[in-house]
């Protein structure tokens, strides 16, 4: 097998729970293959670079193996390799979420100027005027 439809591969690699969700993500432009927006019927080949946006985060992966049937999670993890930059970016987003939750519950109104400064400082964006 040289190629597999991208929606089948995304489903088999467990990025989406159903194949129709994978196809919908392609239609919405959340999947790019080698820098191009991917349609559901686009073929995936070994060594393709995919950018995937789903509820789990933004993934940048390299395809290592092809498969068209869904198997155990242990097998699905061997189908691709996530880049180091992608891992760092997803970890940073997770850390920001945890820090925001530690700050307290979400306010019922817009943040004040002081709140915005604290948020920017937390994210590492120091803005000087």
Rounded mean pLDDT for each run of 10 residues along the chain, 129 residues in total: 92 94 94 93 94 90 93 93 93 85 76 86 74
Residue 25: CB atoms within 10 A of its CB come to 21
3-state secondary structure at position 50? strand
pTM, rounded to two decimals: 0.76
Q: According to the model, what pLDDT value does residue 28 have?
A: 93
What is the domain class of 1-82 according to CATH? alpha beta
Q: According to the model, what pLDDT value does residue 18 have?
A: 94
Q: According to the model, what pLDDT value does residue 16 have?
A: 94
User: For 29, phi and psi rounded to 5 degrees?
Assistant: 80, 20
Q: According to the model, what pLDDT value does residue 101 have?
A: 77
User: Distance (Å, rounded) from C-alpha 44 to C-alpha 6?
Assistant: 6
């Amino acid at each position: 097998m040289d190629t597999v439809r991208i929606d089948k591969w995304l489903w088999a690699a467990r990025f989406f729970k159903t194949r129709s969700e994978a196809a919908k993500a392609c239609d919405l432009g959340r999947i790019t293959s080698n820098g191009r927006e991917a349609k559901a019927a686009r073929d995936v080949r070994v060594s393709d670079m995919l950018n995937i946006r789903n509820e789990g985060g933004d993934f940048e992966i390299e395809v290592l193996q092809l498969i068209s049937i869904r198997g155990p999670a242990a097998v699905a993890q061997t189908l691709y390799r996530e880049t180091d930059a992608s891992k760092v970016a997803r970890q940073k987003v997770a850390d920001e979420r945890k820090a925001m939750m530690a700050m307290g519950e979400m306010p019922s109104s817009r943040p004040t100027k002081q709140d915005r400064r604290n948020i920017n400082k937390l994210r590492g964006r120091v803005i000087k005027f």
